[in-house]
Amino acid sequence: MFLRKTAAPAQLTSQQAERIRRIRRSGAYILLAIATVVFLLPFLWMVTTSLKSDEANLAFPPQWLPDSFHWENYERGWFGSLPFNTFLLNTVLITALSMLGNLVSCVLPAYAFARMRARAAGLMFAALLATMMIPREITLVPKFILFSKLGWVDTYLPLVVPEFFGVALYIFLLRQFFTTIPQELIDAARIDGASELRILWRIMLPLSKPAIAAICLFSFVGNWNQYLESVIYIRTTEKFTLPLGLAMFTDQYATQYNQMMAVALVSMLPIVILFFVAQKTFIRGVTLTGIAGR
């Protein structure tokens, strides 16, 4: 921002100002290049490790680059003794259901908090915000007890069902977004006799696409990588998710870093692709929700 609008105090000629601007811009590129290397190096390490032979993997001191490329590590890791296809399917199922649950259960309360008046509304909103502050640990134990009494342990129900009852952070995010939509639009629709659901569906949602996209992405990433609750509730290997499968992998093949990294890379691929595609919408979504103004 302030690079483009470099100061040009009166005593500087435009030529001098241009030179300063150029120096600053190349400085920014150099810093970004260094940061990129730092942020990407670990990924390069992952990729090279995933391509090493077993011998190179165990070699001491370890080699930084593989002497030959062992693509078969991907096959061996994925189709080895652990059923990663099953883990992938389980993860897709849980993630899809949770995303659906989040969308359905966050849109309605967000609309209500943004556009409807009721006596207890303020109090409820304060409670909503407070739940964002409560450590997970506090509810972890009673929730575990609740779900084990219900006989839900070793099923996906503890992972999926709560997702259908709203996530405070997403409701808050959407609510901020809904409040930016002009009231005149809603009033006009109401005068035309549109129901609240119709207003939500035809006016609020189309105008909130970036926010919806952001929530989809948050929800996808969160559920795809969800580890803690899966570890607590899922016991049977066939029901494991990708993060759980990876964890088991390290127990069984503590020294097979090459296969481990191969599987880790494959299992994060969908998220990276999704982010590449949704990057612009994602950042815009956060901008417009008004987090900045808080």
Partner 1 sequence: MSTVLARREARRFHLFVSPWLIGFVLFTAGPIVAAVVISFMQWNLLRSPVWVGFANYERMFSDPEFWESLENTFQYGLGSVALGVTFTFLLALLLNQPLRFQGLFRTVMYMPSVVSGLATALLWLNILHPDYGLINKVLAAVGVQGPGWLASQEWAIPALVLMSVWGAGNTIVIYLAGLQGIPKTLYEAAEIDGAGWWRRFWSVTVPMMSPVIFFNVVTGFIAALQGYVLILVMTEGGPGNATMVLGLYIYRHAFVYFDMGYAAALSWAMFALIIAVTLIQFGLARRWVHYEFAR
- Of 61-80, binders to partner 1 (CB under 8 A) are 61-62, 64
Q: Hey, CA dihedral for 67, 70, 74, 76, is it positive or negative? A: negative
Binding to partner 1 by residue 182, rule CB under 8 A?
no
Binding to partner 1 by residue 283, rule CB under 8 A?
yes
Please state the closest distance from residue 243 (CB atom) to partner 1, in A: 5
Binding to partner 1 by residue 9, rule CB under 8 A?
yes
Provide the Cα torsion 17, 21, 27, 32; round to 10°: 160
Map residues 216-235 to x or -, x wherever contact with partner 1 holds by CB under 8 A. Answer: -----x--xx-xx---x---
Q: Which of 16, 18, 19, 35 binds partner 1 (CB under 8 A)?
A: 35
Please state the closest distance from residue 42 (CB atom) to partner 1, in A: 5
Q: Where does this chain touch partner 1 (CB under 8 A) — which range of 23-31, 50-58, 67-75, 201-209?
A: 23-31
Q: Which of 53, 86, 148, 281 binds partner 1 (CB under 8 A)?
A: 148
**Share of the chain residues as helix, strand and coil, in percent rounded to the nearest 5:** 75, 0, 25
Binding to partner 1 by residue 179, rule CB under 8 A?
no
Q: Which of 257, 258, 259, 262 binds partner 1 (CB under 8 A)?
A: 257
Please state the closest distance from residue 151 (CB atom) to partner 1, in A: 14
Residue 49 token pair? 């490790």
Cβ–Cβ under 8 Å, residues 256 and 74: no
Cβ–Cβ under 8 Å, residues 174 and 291: no
CA distance to 126, 142, 168, 175, 196, per residue, from 131 (Å): 9, 16, 7, 16, 27
The count of residues in the chain is: 294
**Rounded CA gap, 88 and 74, in Å?**
15
Please state the closest distance from residue 55 (CB atom) to partner 1, in A: 15
User: How far from the centroid of its chain's Cα atoms is residue 143's Cα?
Assistant: 24
Binding to partner 1 by residue 109, rule CB under 8 A?
yes
Q: Where does this chain touch partner 1 (CB under 8 A) — which range of 80-88, 176-184, 202-210, 273-281?
A: 273-281
